[in-house]
Structure formats: C-alpha cells, structure tokens
Structure 1
Amino acid sequence: RIRMVCQVPVDAPTVGSLVDLYPGLDFAERETFDMFGITFDGHPDLTRILMPDDWLGHPLRKDDAPARVPVTFKEDPRPQ
C-alpha cells in the first residue's frame, strides 16, 4: 500500500507522477485528477475517468459549487 501526503498550492495543484515506479497507480492518479483537479506531472494519460469529458470543474474540491447541477428525485415507488 502507498499513501502519499503532500501540500499543493490551491491555484496550481501539481505533484510528480509515480506511474513510472508503480504502474498500478495509473487509475488512482486519473481519479484524483478528475475529482480534485490535482495534476500529476509526467503521467502518460491524465484524462477524465469518472466524469464526462465536457464537465467543468472538479466535484470533490471544497471550492466547487455543489448545487450547480439541479437534481430532481423521484418518489420512492415502493409501498410503505
């Protein structure tokens, strides 16, 4: 197991990629980029993996607007 803890600046969150040393980190670094916007220098394919390609922002960042996309919930169809 690997746990990487580091501080990155808010305006340019960038750290070095570890994919060359640990190829299994490929999807973890892509997910971190997609959800938090942290860029990994040297990553061979740093593209979105969970969110659509045209999604603006990074949904798990604290400065992201949580209610920017309205969500409508249906009633529970199961009888009470």
Structure 2
Amino acid sequence: MLGVNVKTNNYNKPWLDNAIKRNDIIKIATEPTYNNLYRINNITGENELSGFGREFEYLRSYGYTYDPVTKSMIK
C-alpha cells in the first residue's frame, strides 16, 4: 500500500494500478531527488518517504525506472 494518506489511497493508487496494468509510460513533472522523495516527520523527527516518494517507490516495486531524458517512469 502507498501509505495512510486518504488522497493517495483513494485516487492515486487506483490510477497508478491501472497504468501499471497497461504498462503505461508515466510522465512525471518532478525530478526524483532525495529532497522531494523524503521529508522529516514533524512528530517523530525521522526521515520518511513523502507522498511523491511513496508513489515513486510503488512504481519501482513494479519494475519501473526513471528516465531523466524523457522525465518518465518506464517499465
């Protein structure tokens, strides 16, 4: 699962699951860097995946990789 974020689970995950099933190329507007894949949890002070980071890792778990030339996640 992508995490506890309701928006991610209700909207983004089903969209990603459908794209994965079709082996879609997924364009992303944000370059995946450490600073936008992770964030500091204000309660625990621990580093954790951001919403974007969870989606990025979810795609990677299904065999997608980031192509910096096309700014796309491809299988």
Shared topology, TM-score over 0.5?
Answer: no
* Pairwise TM-score range, normalised by the shorter structure: under 0.3
Q: Name the one with the larger helix percent.
A: 2
| Higher RCO (CA < 8 A, seq sep 6+) | 2
Q: Name the one with the larger strand percent.
A: 2
> TM-score normalised to the size of structure 1?
0.24
> TM-score normalised to the size of structure 2?
0.24
